[in-house]
Amino acid sequence: MIDLSQFSLPTPLLLAQLGGNANGNDTWWPVSVIIGVILLLLAVALLALFWNYVRLWFQAYVSNVPMNPLSLVGMSLRQVNPRTIIDAKIRAMQAGVGTGPANEITTRGLEAHYLAGGNVPRVILAIIVAHRADIDLDFDRAAAIDLAGRDVLEAVRTSVNPMVIDCPDPTISHKSTLSAVAKNGVELKIRARVTVRTNLGQLIGGATEETIIARVGEGIITAIGSSASHLQVMENPDRISKTVLDRGLDAHTAFEIVSIDIADIDIGEQIGARLQADQAEADTRKARAMAEQRRADAIAQEQEMRAGVQANRAHVVLAEAEVPRAMAEAFRQGNLEAAR
């Protein structure tokens, strides 16, 4: 206990200096209330913050994902959502992926992918789906595919469940069929369906679906153009599919061609006969033009010959005019004698 008698100031004066008086009329209680409210608010804020991190840590702990609570605070300071990272780690752990030393999915790797703008939950789902389908896909490759702008989850699903592409694609081209002409001049209108699946090894930097459609269309047109008759194509459409598949059209693309099926074949126009008729018409016009040219040349030559006749007649008239003049000159010179 403190002995107040050792102080020189009396007790009422001491209470007055502390903000009160000896009669018990306190004047300092509003300050105490304000300080108490501030401390209470700080305690509530700290409790809420502490409870949020504790809940995340406890969720990770019961899910067999060891996590340091200070790491959760560091994620928030690094502008990383701790909930996203913890959920991704829990999903990977429960699915049994990314636990080995060679393909471990680390917290630092998840944070780096998050800060790079990647979709962490979608990458983890893609890895889980690939693991269930026995497809070799690690976190680094999945993250690279995601950052490259490709939908990694959709790519894995397409690799498991192949996708069918129409050739030609009506959503891209205004044509609904491919037009090819056999050697006998008959046009065939073909619509094909290409079944492809994603090639994860060439997804980064590989060509897209438009390249597959263009290559398949080119192969079909080439195969039909090398056929002797359209009847051969109509009889065995699978020959076209086998010929196109043997050309390896999926090289350097993000897809692997599973099959090419001819969905529809229609006979079009007789292109050969029409071209021959057009050629005959062109030859006729050319012959007419050449005949007209020869006729014009003949007329011009005739006119030139007539002009030459007129010029010769003029020379004759001039020569006849010189005869009397020569006779008169001869008489004057005495070269001519009168006939006796």
- The residues, any chain, with a CB within 8 Å of residue 250's CB and separated by 6 or more, are 196, 199, 212, 256, 257
pLDDT surpasses 70 at 8:
no
Query: What residues are paired with 267 via a beta bridge?
Result: 188
In the predicted structure, residue 339 carries a pLDDT above the cut 70: no
Provide the pLDDT for residue 29. 64
Q: What percent of the chain has pLDDT over 70?
A: 89
pTM: 0.62
pLDDT of residue 2: 42
Burial of 188 (0-12, 13-18, 19+ CB in 10 A): buried
- Share the mean pLDDT of the chain: 82
Q: Work out whether the CA dihedral 224, 227, 229, 233 comes out positive or negative.
A: negative
The pLDDT, as a whole number, for residue 202 is 84
**Mean pLDDT computed over 101-115:** 86
Exposure on the CB side of residue 316, measured as CA atoms within 13 A: 6
Q: What is the pLDDT of residue 36?
A: 79
DSSP 150: -
**pLDDT above 80 (res 5):** no
**Inter-residue contact 181 to 187 (CB < 8 Å):** yes
pLDDT band for 120, please (50, 70, 90 cuts). very high
What CA–CA distances, in Å, run from 66 to 86, 106, 196, 227? 10, 11, 42, 68
Strand stretches in 132-215, DSSP E: 163-167, 178-181, 186-198
Which tens digits make up the pLDDT trace of 146-159?
Answer: 998 888 999 899 88
- CA dist 309 and 317 (Å) reads 12
Q: Are 90 and 56 in contact (CB under 8 A)?
A: no
Taking 90 as the threshold, does the pLDDT of residue 123 lie above it? yes
- Strand pairing of 255-270 and 186-198? antiparallel
- Sorted by where each starts, the structural domains of the chain and their CATH numbers stand as 58-160 (no CATH), 163-272 (3.30.479.30)
Q: How far apart are CA 232 and CA 235, in angstroms?
A: 5
Question: Per-residue confidence at 340, pLDDT binned at 50, 70, 90?
Answer: very low
- Residue 26: its pLDDT value, please? 52
Least Cα distance to 99 among 108, 89, 111, 112 occurs for 89
Predicted confidence at residue 3, as pLDDT, reads 47
Q: Which tens digit of pLDDT belongs to each residue from 40-98?
A: 888 777 777 677 777 888 888 888 888 887 888 888 888 888 889 989 998 888 888 87
- DSSP string for 219-245: HHHHHHHTSS-HHHHHH-THHHHHHHH
Give the helix ranges, DSSP H, for 22-165: 29-62, 69-77, 82-95, 107-115, 120-132, 139-147, 152-160
Residue 119 tokens, joined: 């979709």
pLDDT for the residue numbered 119 = 92
- Which pLDDT score is estimated for 318? 86
Separation between Cα atoms, residue 213 and residue 192, nearest integer Å: 10
The answer to whether residues 200 and 207 touch, using CB atoms and an 8 Å cutoff, is: no
Which pLDDT tens digit goes with each residue over 262-319?
Answer: 888 888 888 777 788 888 889 999 999 999 999 999 999 999 998 988 888 888 888 8
Q: pLDDT (tens digit, 9 = 90+) per residue, 240-278?
A: 888 888 888 888 888 888 888 888 888 888 877 778 888
Contact 196, 154 (CB under 8 A): no
